[in-house]
Structure 1
Amino acid sequence: MHPAPGKGAAEDSAGSHQGPQCGRSQGHLQPWLLRPDHLDSLQGRTTLASRQILVTHVGAKSPADGVVQVDDVIVGVAGKPFEDDARKSIAYAIQNAEKESGKGILKLSVIRAGQPQDLELKLPVIGTYSATAPWNCPKSKRIFEDACKALENEPLKEDWAGPVNGLALLATGNPDYLPKVREFARKLAPTTLDLSQKTNGATWDLGYRNLFLCEYFLLTGDKEVLHGIREYTLSMARGQGMYGTFGHGFSAKTADGKNHGSVPPYGPVNMAGLPANLSIVLAKKCGISDPEIDQAIARAAGFFGYFTDKGAIPYGEHEPWPFHENNGKNSITAILFSAIGNKPAETKFFSRMAVAGYCSRECGHTGQGFSYLWSALGANVGGPAAEAAFFREASWHLDLVRRCDGSFTYDGAEQYGPGKTDDDTYYGKSSYSGLSPNATFVLTYSLPLKKLIITGREQDQKSWLSRDEVAASIAAGHFDLDRKKLSADELVEAFAAWSPVVRSWAATELASRPECKAMVPRLIELAGGNDIHVIQGACETLGLIKSVEALPALVKQLSHSDRWVRYKAAEAIKEMGGAAQPALDDILKALVSTAEPLSPINWADPIQIAHGQLAAAVFSSPLKESLKTADPRLLYPAVRMVSRNPDGM
Structure 2
Amino acid sequence: MKFAAAFISLCCVGQCSAQSLNPNGAYPKFGVGPTGITATIEKGLKVTVAAVQLSEPAGQTDLKPGDVLLSVNGQSLSENDPRVTLGTAIGVVEAGDGLLTFQVQRGSDERNVTLRLPVVGAYSASWPENCKKSNAIVEQTVRYAVKAQQPDGSYQFGAGRPVRDDVRGCLTSLFLLSVGDDELIPYVRRHVRPLAERAETRRNAGGHVNWQLGYQGILLSEYYLRTGDAEVLPGLQELCNWCVDNQAAGGWSHGAPVGPGYVQSGLMNHAGLPVMITLIIAQECGIKVDTAAYARAIRLIYRMAGHGCVAYGDHRSELWWSNTNGRNAMTACGFSLLDHIPCFREASEHLATLVTDSYYQPEFGHTGGGFNVIWRGMASMHVPEHRRANVQRQNQELAWYYDLCRQPGGGFSMPATPPNNPRYTGLEWATGAIGLTYAAPRRGLRITGAPRTKFSRQAPPPDFDWGTPEDRTFLSTADAEGFRESESPKEIYHLLLKTRKSEATLQFCATHLRHYSPLVRTWAARLLGERNRPEALAILANAAMDKDPRVRRAAFDGVSGYDNWR
TM-score, normalised via structure 1 length? 0.67
Structure with the greater relative contact order (CA < 8 A, sep ≥ 6): 1 or 2? 2
Deviation, structure 1 residue 134: 0.7
Deviation, structure 1 residue 194: 4.7
37, 40, 60: which one pairs with 1:8? 37
Alignment partners' CA distance in 2, 1:229 and 1:347: 25
Alignment partners' CA distance in 1, 2:523 and 2:561: 18
Give ranges in structure 1 of 5+ residues lacking alignment. 14-21, 24-49, 253-261, 422-428, 543-568, 573-608, 614-649
Alignment partners' CA distance in 2, 1:90 and 1:199: 40
Match of 1:534 in 2: 551
* Residues 31 and 37 in structure 2, CA contact (< 8 A), matched pair in contact too: yes
Q: Does 1:110 align with 2:104?
A: yes
Match of 1:281 in 2: 280
- Specify the code of the residue in structure 1 equivalent to 2:399: S
Distance 1:507 1:60, change over 3 A: farther
* Residues 175 and 436 in structure 2, CA contact (< 8 A), matched pair in contact too: yes
Deviation, structure 1 residue 137: 0.7
Alignment partners' CA distance in 2, 1:263 and 1:188: 31
Alignment partners' CA distance in 2, 1:138 and 1:131: 11
* Residues 193 and 232 in structure 2, CA contact (< 8 A), matched pair in contact too: yes
Match of 1:557 in 2: none
Match of 1:550 in 2: none
Alignment partners' CA distance in 1, 2:202 and 2:40: 47
405, 408, 420: which one pairs with 1:404? 408
* Residues 443 and 455 in structure 1, CA contact (< 8 A), matched pair in contact too: no
Q: Secondary structure at the match of 2:397?
A: helix
- 1:51-85 Cα offsets, whole Å, 9 max, x none, are x4222222222222223332332232322435643
* Residues 173 and 449 in structure 1, CA contact (< 8 A), matched pair in contact too: yes
Match of 2:165 in 1: 158
- Specify the code of the residue in structure 2 equivalent to 1:218: L
Deviation, structure 1 residue 409: 0.8
Alignment partners' CA distance in 1, 2:536 and 2:476: 39
Aligned identity (percent) is: 28
Distance 1:329 1:79, change over 3 A: same
- 1:381-402 Cα offsets, whole Å, 9 max, x none, are 1157354443222211000111
235, 239, 249: which one pairs with 2:242? 235
Alignment partners' CA distance in 2, 1:183 and 1:72: 44
Q: Does 1:271 align with 2:266?
A: no
Alignment partners' CA distance in 1, 2:518 and 2:125: 29
Distance 1:110 1:538, change over 3 A: farther
* Residues 169 and 181 in structure 1, CA contact (< 8 A), matched pair in contact too: yes
Alignment partners' CA distance in 2, 1:363 and 1:191: 35
Alignment partners' CA distance in 1, 2:49 and 2:480: 43
- Specify the code of the residue in structure 2 equivalent to 1:239: N
Q: Does 1:571 align with 2:562?
A: yes
- 1:403-439 Cα offsets, whole Å, 9 max, x none, are 22222112125x7535499xxxxxxx925xxx53111
Match of 2:349 in 1: 348
* Residues 479 and 514 in structure 2, CA contact (< 8 A), matched pair in contact too: no
Match of 1:91 in 2: 87
Alignment partners' CA distance in 2, 1:369 and 1:53: 23
Q: Secondary structure at the match of 1:76?
A: strand
Correspondences of 1:472-483 after superposition (within 5 Å): 475-483=488-496
Q: Secondary structure at the match of 2:115?
A: strand
Q: Does 1:495 align with 2:542?
A: no
Q: Secondary structure at the match of 1:120?
A: strand
Q: Secondary structure at the match of 2:231?
A: helix
Alignment partners' CA distance in 2, 1:352 and 1:465: 7
Deviation, structure 1 residue 247: 0.9
Q: Secondary structure at the match of 1:340?
A: coil
- 1:3-60 Cα offsets, whole Å, 9 max, x none, are 12225212233xxxxxxxx32xxxxxxxxxxxxxxxxxxxxxxxxxx5x422222222
Distance 1:87 1:183, change over 3 A: closer
* Residues 390 and 474 in structure 1, CA contact (< 8 A), matched pair in contact too: no
Alignment partners' CA distance in 1, 2:91 and 2:411: 16
Rg bigger for which structure?
A: 1
446, 455, 460: which one pairs with 2:448? 455
- 1:308-345 Cα offsets, whole Å, 9 max, x none, are 22211122112333223111111000011111231133
426, 430, 436: which one pairs with 1:430? 426
Alignment partners' CA distance in 2, 1:420 and 1:60: 27
Match of 2:292 in 1: 295
Paired residues in the alignment total: 482
* Residues 75 and 85 in structure 2, CA contact (< 8 A), matched pair in contact too: no
Match of 1:359 in 2: 360
- Specify the code of the residue in structure 2 equivalent to 1:400: L
Match of 2:398 in 1: 394
Q: Secondary structure at the match of 2:513?
A: helix
Deviation, structure 1 residue 518: 4.2
